[in-house]
A and B are shown apart, each in its own frame.
Chain A
């Protein structure tokens, strides 16, 4: 398992160094700095072996987080742990940067002591950790309190503590989809997928058991087969075919596998209930039609049409089209029908922003790009794809929440008393059209 964990700043200075295993020597800290952070060439892998020691790293802003081992350990687990650690640190002290890490180094050591034991990840749930690792110094706890803590840290429902009470039982569901597209210049869809997340914020008392229903074909059909009394041959429309879904650890996976039922006891507060992926029947909210013409060696003409392809009553926001320009661009003249377009030399792109755009609209931008006479061939322009950003108020996959029922047998509130909110947001992921 993980032999040691180091945190460096961008210069390669050690901010945190915690060694869990004897086989990791002091020189390991330096080996990573010399061979990766200070390497002459950009390191081309997140896993590097230096002198029979393996280094796993992730980088956030200017901070390098590096796990070390000499064993054949589970690589996926190491990276998942590193992300988790960033998440935990983030929730304790905000942004991951040098200053925050230095300011909180005692806390980080304390966390590392709890997160890993002999290199094995332990309970990493922020909510639980915060019950007994605080920055205010440890209060002298009563025996009952500590037992409660230890039970929770190790417990079956490690993600929720007992005795939560709310005057108003309320829950919020956000279905957030990111729509990914790669389209050829001719308008052929090379690949498209939606990766969706169901974010939940639960403010519920006690230990509520929740049942969640969605319009996935498999789930709906198996439900229907289960209670045969329901009208057979009901309309099949409105069901989508989810390729794959993943659940927060509170969801009973074996139950999902056998009964296709999503049931769980939610953590308190915000969490990601489920993640799903869909590739079929995606309604792509936008289509970009590029036309690039090189006129001689010093001029280029670009025409881009953006079409919105959803109900006219809906409104897309934060629409942004990025049209890359060659490195040797000397000047750009842009005209667009709607929104604002501007050439950003620092980004080597024309950025076209449209605040709102209704459905079934079609807008155009045209630009003339002046080029310096390219002298050095080495800096070849590879025509990066045109990318798009947007937000739309619907789920491009057609994902629908059918119900979310809450049962808490011990307390006296019922499903009807819970106030529920659902919202759908479609965002752009990597939404690219080659040109």
Chain B
């Protein structure tokens, strides 16, 4: 029986229901008095009070001490007096004393030891609240002398009958591990912690999970790390416990589960099914952690399957709901949605409207919403988006308005059908004459020109009217680019550029570079009346500028113009590559890593944890698990990575890449290129693409003189080859280098490996009727020779035996050849296990193996080549740092590079394929569509070979480094065979 109360709303709460909740503002005792400012002699007074006989007085005194401590006063001199109060049986007082101890014990270790006894005693107090308090506090006292006393009480508390004590003890293990990791391992606390995972109490389980996760991230020994990895069985149990945990416990468990990668699709699917209900939890952290787990597991499922689609559908509503939470949570959610939209755009593609900015949103929410809005823009919804953006462009916050203006430009580039509307909107905005709006509009219009050449140039006139108001480098550079690019249509282009030249020295480099290029463009288009101008800018750039980029570009132009103006035209006025629709996309590997950190700080900063967390934890990088992606996916991802810089540039940048530069420096390079291109794609970038023209015949006398004198003067500078980046990127050292090896996820599982074809070793005519075909195999660690023996003779063959000559790697049969007598026309196959402990003699060629096979007729000799990859041992993997230092140790001149041809393998499949032959991929990185795999292998005789496999648009290039150059050809041969085998 429900009684609907449809009465008017004015019915106050009071008269129909009792109200339990009562606000309890305490007025009797005001603790604020403790916050009064310091007086002289206060410490002395406190000391006296702390030693008072009266309990209440002591308590008051301790409160005063804590208040002083809070406001930052040094009350450490009172340490012994406060510790004296510790024995009190008053729980409140005890807590305060403990609080004091935690703060000051470290500074007074010798005195802190006085407290140990009390702690140990409290750990055995009949009251579980006190036991827990003691074990909670003692773990926070980071004094070695005390830590030693901690083990026994902690061990007891971990097995305490009271769950409250156990849950506190579980966390204490993590505290202890932070102080002394080895002690925790030696004392067997990890096992005890693991036992707690099966505890009957959900909170104990949750805290044990939290502690294990934390310890796992900083485990010192491999044994510990192994013990703390999550098994499928364990994860299963945790997921069952989820519903019983507090909201926080659910977060701990989900975050822990996110670290586990199931091996099978089925398992991933059932995990998703069990995590999905969490999406309806009221706590945003639970929701985001569930999203993280699901996003990661989705990678393991067949894309496009019904299950994946229905799961993706389930994600959208909870994410949208997060946007009606408090602002701070909204912000965290939006930063994460930004990642999710990049990873799986389909999740929120229909939810455009929730990202419309509200007038009262805080600025950080507004800016994030705008970002996502643009990512979700498509031809279908562009009208709505554009109307919104127009609104935003009239707001007050400068950053927000700029971003909105920029967004309009991005819309134009993304949706061609709307470009015209966008341009006219931008022109309207320029008419407002609001300085920053105009500047931002000019920057984006430049991009629109590039995207749609010869379409909107009619607006140039309007743009030129605003020349004087531009005071920001980016806007100036953009305007200059426009003038240079369309010099032939702007009558007074020379005057305009000249006006900029006057203040050349004061401009920023980006503007100077742009100005230099623009003037050269102008000259090439209107050579007759601009000679003076071009000479002026060239001399400014080469003689008066300090910036090497600027000088170099100046010299290059000068030289080009003076030797071959036609080539100069080809270079400077070359066709520009199209600009991409999407900007600000994260690099795929970084995006993958950040998706594994959804909900965490990394996802808020959009930076990997290594960028802001100190210590060892940072070195471990997470990556999305891979489902052995198809070729199309792999190349798709690569395309997404290459935005600003066209592929040929990236290839030109290759020499730098091959020496494993740091990520930072490489990104720096790319940014430089982008900036100097200034959207024009002019300058250096095309320089390298243009054919070298040595011809001197049509040198322009105009410039010739100047050049000669110039070369005479500063000759060596421009002729010097560009400085190659040294193998080690400067002082940043191994640490920075090691970073780039992050992205690589766990080594892929062994797949159907590469099996070579049978080779003909002994033809029947030479073997008096015995024909032998064979090949070398490696099954696990066992090297084998497979022999297929066919009897083409008229009589039975029997009494087979085999022997090897001494060879380079000491190969020898591990057991006699077992082959039954063969009837005529019969074929038999046998596997002969080999070992490598035989006699060694260097052969020519290196991998030659001479074999003797005996049967009842005769002894036959043949020789075959052992493919080197069967000699690669399982120990070929190595730590990234070791790889790096080894790579550096081997002199650069012993590096060998070969092109392996083109194959359709994706980097993942190659890596897996090679892995099956014990070629270990140590690291992997992708730069603008070029995939680099860093691999290592170890031969059975201990020779190490390091390899760098570059995959660029399907073309594979292999660079090898080893102290024994003889093995190169064999390794190259094997790579070729392996790649071809399954292409």
Contact = CB atoms under 8 A, between A and B. Distances in A.
A103 interface: yes
A92 B214 CA distance: 32
A52 B605 CA distance: 12
B455 to A, nearest CB: 30
Interface string A402-413: 011000000000
Given A76-B285, A123-B246, A422-B3, A246 B280 contact: yes
Interface stretch (B315-323, B720-728, B847-855, B885-893): B315-323
B845 to A, nearest CB: 53
A152 to B, nearest CB: 9
A154 B203 contact: yes
Contacts of B517: none
Given A138-B90, A149-B129, A247-B281, A77 B5 contact: no
Contacts of B210: 1, 120
B30 interface: yes
B282 A247 contact: yes
Interface stretch (A343-351, A367-375, A379-387): A379-387
Given A76-B284, A122-B203, A253 B326 contact: no
A121 B353 contact: no
Contact of B99 (A102, A109, A138, A249): A109
Interface in A394-435: 401, 403-404, 416, 419-425, 430, 432, 434
Contacts of A246: 280-282, 287, 318, 321
A434 B139 CA distance: 58
Given A70-B613, A244-B280, A22 B178 contact: yes
Interface in B440-464: none
B57 interface: no
Contacts of A257: 276-277, 280
A363 interface: no
Nearest to A195: B324
Interface stretch (B66-74, B224-232, B486-494, B690-698): B66-74
Interface stretch (A219-227, A270-278, A285-293): A270-278
B278 interface: yes
B163 interface: yes
Nearest to A142: B127
B934 interface: no
B128 A147 contact: yes
Interface in A118-154: 118, 120-125, 132, 135, 137-138, 141, 143, 146-147, 149-151, 153-154
Contacts of B321: 243-244, 246, 275, 277
Interface stretch (A12-20, A230-238, A296-304, A330-338): A12-20
Given A75-B599, A257-B276, A277-B324, A120 B207 contact: yes
Interface residues of B, number: 132
Contacts of A425: 9
Q: Taking each of A45, A182, A269, which has the highest tally of chain B beta carbons within 10 Å of its own beta carbon?
A: A45
Contact of B66 (A47, A109, A155, A419): A109
B418 interface: no
Contacts of B26: 93, 103-104, 135
A109 to B, nearest CB: 6
Contact of A403 (B2, B21, B387): B2
Contacts of A122: 167, 203, 207, 246, 248
A72 B600 contact: yes
Interface string A78-117: 0111110000000111100001101111100110010001
Interface string B379-391: 0000010011001
A142 to B, nearest CB: 10
A393 interface: yes
Contacts of B320: 243-244, 277
B504 interface: no
Contact of B34 (A18, A82, A105, A317): A105
Nearest to B25: A94
Contacts of B136: 113, 117
A147 to B, nearest CB: 7
B31 A106 contact: yes
A247 B280 contact: yes
Contacts of A247: 280-282
A76 B332 contact: yes
B255 A74 contact: yes
A22 to B, nearest CB: 6
B54 interface: no
Contacts of A26: 72
Contacts of B252: 120
A122 B167 CA distance: 9
A52 B612 contact: yes
A26 B73 CA distance: 11
B604 A52 contact: no
B1 A315 contact: no
A252 interface: yes
Interface stretch (B356-364, B543-551, B952-960): B356-364
B8 A315 contact: yes
B59 to A, nearest CB: 9
Contacts of A75: 332, 599-601, 603-604
A269 B21 contact: yes
Given A75-B600, A393-B8, A44 B364 contact: yes
Contacts of A94: 23-25
B520 interface: no
A114 to B, nearest CB: 9
A325 interface: no
B170 to A, nearest CB: 9
Interface string B396-423: 1001000000000000000000000000
Given A74-B289, A149-B129, A422-B2, A49 B605 contact: yes
A72 B217 CA distance: 11
B278 to A, nearest CB: 6
Interface in B61-83: 63, 66-67, 69-72
Given A104-B26, A190-B353, A421-B16, A74 B32 contact: no
A229 interface: no
Given A154-B201, A182-B356, A195-B324, A132 B129 contact: yes
Nearest to A249: B247
B277 A80 contact: no
Interface string A162-192: 0000000010100000000010100000110
Interface in B1-44: 1-10, 16-18, 20-21, 23-26, 29-32, 34-35
Q: Which 9 A-B pairs have the closest CB atoms?
A: A150-B164, A102-B32, A244-B317, A257-B277, A77-B285, A72-B609, A76-B285, A253-B277, A121-B248
6 contacts: A146-B128, A150-B165, A243-B320, A244-B320, A380-B396, A423-B4
Given A113-B136, A121-B248, A382-B396, 7 more contacts: A15-B70, A19-B102, A58-B326, A109-B99, A118-B175, A244-B280, A253-B280
Interface of B: 1-10, 16-18, 20-21, 23-26, 29-32, 34-35, 63, 66-67, 69-72, 90-92, 95-96, 99, 102-103, 126-129, 132-133, 136, 139-140, 142, 162-165, 167-168, 171-172, 174-175, 178, 201-204, 207, 210, 214, 243-244, 246-248, 251-252, 255, 274, 276-278, 280-285, 287-289, 317-318, 320-321, 324, 326-329, 331-333, 353-354, 356, 358-360, 363-364, 367, 384, 387-388, 391, 394-396, 399, 434, 597, 599-605, 609, 612-614, 617
